[in-house]
Amino acid sequence: MSILHVSSASGEHRLVASDGQSVRDLLDTTALRVRAACGGSGTCGACIVRFISGEVSPPTVAEYLKLTPEERAAGQRLACQLRIRGDVHIELEHPAPPSEWKSIVPENLAEITASRPELSAHRYGLAVDLGTTHIRLALWDRRAGKRIATRRGANPQGSFGADVLNRLEAARAHPEHAAELAASAREAIMHAVRDILARDIGEVTPMLAEIGEVLIVGNTAMLALLTGQGGEALLDPAYWQKKVEFQPVDRSAWQQPWHLPNARIVLPGPVAGFVGSDLVADLLATGLTDGPPGSLLLDVGTNTEIALWDGACLHVTSVPGGPAFEGVGIRHGMPAEPGAIYRVSRSSGGYACATIAGETARGFCGSGLTDAIAVLLADGCLKSSGRFAVSPGPEGYALDPANPATAITGIDVDAFQRAKAAIAAAMEVLLRQAGMGWGELRRLCICGAFGHTLDVGRAQSLGLLPPIDAQGVELHADASLAGGERALLSPDGAQRFAALTDTIKAINLSLIADYDEAYINHLRLRPIAGAPSP
C-alpha cells in the first residue's frame, strides 16, 4: 500500500492507494474527483493533475497526444494514466464539480466472471442495491461481461428519518410524502446512472436507450417506498411472515422519466415482512446453501437480516438492529467514508485510531465503534454492563484527547449494546428453530460495509458474533450488489431469486415467546454464553 498526498483548494489530503492504482480511480472514491468524460482511456484529456514527486508510471501515448511538451515539463499528467507505484504527491487545481456520488472502492467489489453473449441489442444492464442509508449500483456491458463503473451515495429518503418505520409511517399518513419518498429514490438512481454515463462513457442520452435491464434489490421497506406498494401491510404484524408484493403499478411510468425506453425493470420479490430481496442477493453472492449445515449469514445494518442454512432449509429473520452500525445516532458517528475510524489499537500512552483513506478522524463508522468499545472493555475503562468505570463526563471518553471526534459516550455504548443484543438473540432463535446449537456453526458470512472493516475477534469478545473458528469467517463487502450483478448477468436471474426464496422459512421474532428473554441475556458486553471458544 502507498500514500497519495493531494494538495487542493480544500486543503491537504492523504489517501491510501493500492500499488498500480490510477490516480483517477482513487480520487473517484472520494469527494476529490477529477474532471472526466472518457472512462479512463485518456481520450478526453480532462483529468489533468500536477505531479510533484513520488514513484509513478511513465507518461503514456495518450498523454503525449493530449499534453504539450511545455505542459508535461511543468508536471502535468492525466490522472487516468498516472499510476501509483509508491508514495506520491500531486496537486489538484481543477477538480470536478462536487457530487454526492462516488465510485465503490475496487476491493469491495466481487469478482464476477459471467456474460450474456447471446444479447444482440440493449446489451447494457444496471444492478441496484437500494439500502436504507445508501444506494449502490453498477453498470455492466452484459454481452462482454464487463463492469463499466459503480457508484454509491446517500439514500435521500433519509430526510424522513434513519428508521424505516418512520418513513413507512410518513408515507401512510401523508400521500404527498409517499410520492416524495418514491420520487426521491428513483431520481437518485437516475442521477447516479447519468453520472456514470457522463464520466465513464462520455455519452448520456444515446446510452440510456442501450440499457436493456435494471434489476433492483432492497429490504422490504425500501421496495415498498420505491414502488408505493405494500407499505401499509408492513406496518401490520400479521404480514411479517407473509409475502407482500412490491411491484410498480406501471413500469412504463418509470421508463419515461428515466429515459430508458428499452429497459426491463426487474424487482425480485422479498421473502416476507422485513426480509427483503437484498438478503436473497446476499445468498446468491455467498453461495450460502452450497456450504455445510450450520452456515450462518449476517447482513448487518439499520435493518439486520440473518439466514441460517441447516442443510435442507434456510431459516431467516430480521431485527431492527438500529442505525448504530451505520454510524447514525452516535454522537460522532458517520458512514464508512474517508475520515471514519474503522480500527482502534493501543499505543504508547493511549490509543491509535486508523481511519478510512488515512484522513483525519471525523467520527466512527460501525466497525470503528465496535473496535473502540472492545478495546475500552479490555482495558477496564468500560464494565461488561456497558457503564464507564469512571464517568468521562457529558462529552464522552476521547481516544485522542486532541480530537473531540474520537469520543465515545455512554449513550453510544448503550445503542451498540441494544443492537448487538437484538442480533445475538435472533441468531439464538434461528439455531433453536433449526434444532442446532452454537457449537454446530461451521461457516459465518458477514455482509456489507460494516463487516468488511470489522475485527472479527473483537466483535466476538463483545458477543456480537459467535466465536467460531476464524477459518470459517468470511467478509463480503457489498454482497447485495454482487448478488444483483450475478442475477443481471444470468439469463434466468429472476428465477434464481425465486428458487432460493422457495427454500426459505421466515421467522417473525415478535411471535417467539422467549425472544425478549434472550435479548436481555445478550445485553452485557461479553462473549456469547454457551458457545465454544474458537
**322: pLDDT confidence band, cut at 50, 70 and 90?**
low
Q: For residue 534, is pLDDT > 70? A: no
- What local confidence, expressed as pLDDT, does residue 463 receive? 96
Q: What is residue 213's three-state secondary structure? A: strand
Angle at 25 between CA 473 and CA 16, to 5 degrees: 60
pTM score, whole prediction: 0.90
Cα-Cα end-to-end distance for the chain: 31
Q: How many CB atoms lie within 10 A of CB 86?
A: 11
Which residues make beta-bridge pairs with 140? 125, 147
Residue-wise pLDDT tens digits, 336-385: 787 899 999 998 889 999 998 778 899 998 899 999 999 999 999 999 99
Rg (C-alpha) for the chain, rounded Å, is 24
**What are the boundaries of each domain within the chain?**
2-92, 106-266
- What local confidence, expressed as pLDDT, does residue 238 receive? 67
Tell which residue, 340, 170, 172, 269, has the closest CA to residue 499: 269
Tell which residue, 11, 105, 17, has the closest CA to residue 481: 105
Q: How many helices (H) and strands (E) does the chain have?
A: 17, 21
Residue of 295 and 454 predicted with greater confidence: 295
The arithmetic mean of pLDDT across residues 23-33, rounded, is 93
Q: What is residue 223's three-state secondary structure? A: helix
Q: For residue 283, is pLDDT > 80? A: yes
- What local confidence, expressed as pLDDT, does residue 177 receive? 87
Which residues make beta-bridge pairs with 397? 408
The arithmetic mean of pLDDT across residues 39-52, rounded, is 95
Residue of 382 and 273 predicted with greater confidence: 382
**321: pLDDT confidence band, cut at 50, 70 and 90?**
low
The arithmetic mean of pLDDT across residues 185-212, rounded, is 95
Q: What is residue 154's three-state secondary structure? A: strand
Given the C-alpha cell 476529490, which residue does it identify? 32
Q: What topology is assigned to 2-92 in CATH? A: Ubiquitin-like (UB roll) (3.10.20)
| Main-chain phi, psi angles of 310, to 5 degrees | -100, 10
Report how far residue 335's alpha carbon sits from residue 462's, in angstroms, rounded to the nearest whole number: 21
Strands of 48-56's sheet, edge to edge? 11-17, 2-8, 84-92, 48-56, 76-78
**327: pLDDT confidence band, cut at 50, 70 and 90?**
low
Q: For the domain with range 106-266, which CATH number is right: 3.40.50.360, 1.10.1060.10, 3.40.50.720, 3.30.420.480?
A: 3.30.420.480
Residue-wise pLDDT tens digits, 472-525: 999 998 999 999 999 999 999 989 998 888 889 989 888 898 999 999 999 999
